[in-house]
Structure 1
């Protein structure tokens, strides 16, 4: 299952919020709705949760380079 992200940085706000929430879709919608109510003074409603759901994006995880084997003992490499 693809994790979802709700990111406040995508939307202008007076508080300049930078919160990003990621996880499974239902938990992100729930947490983002709670955040929208407590921080941005929205009213929790089915319409708010639907708007949040429509704005979710798939989480993109940056590629992490894998470490290769260590160099043979005593061998010197230029960095």
Structure 2
């Protein structure tokens, strides 16, 4: 069983969230991502949100973000 991740950088956001969540199981990852979406992005915990999160899950680990230059 491989790791799974969701990268918030892939989601449309006004706050340019850079959080990436990684877990061993899809259910654990969905629960963590829902908590983040509700608490940080003020979404409602709905079946539609959970479905969107599940569709954004990738296998492996997130890529390192490109370095920002000033």
| Length-normalised TM-score, structure 2 | 0.78
Alignment match, 1:43 = 44
Unaligned regions of 5+ residues in structure 1, if any? 63-79
CA RMSD of aligned residues (A): 1.8
Take 2:3 and 2:51, find their aligned partners in 1: how far apart are those partners?
17
Shift of residue 60, structure 1, vs aligned partner = 3.9
Higher relative contact order (CA 8 A, sep 6+): 2
Take 2:16 and 2:6, find their aligned partners in 1: how far apart are those partners?
15
Take 2:21 and 2:61, find their aligned partners in 1: how far apart are those partners?
13
| Length-normalised TM-score, structure 1 | 0.70
Unaligned regions of 5+ residues in structure 2, if any? 64-70
Alignment match, 1:57 = 58
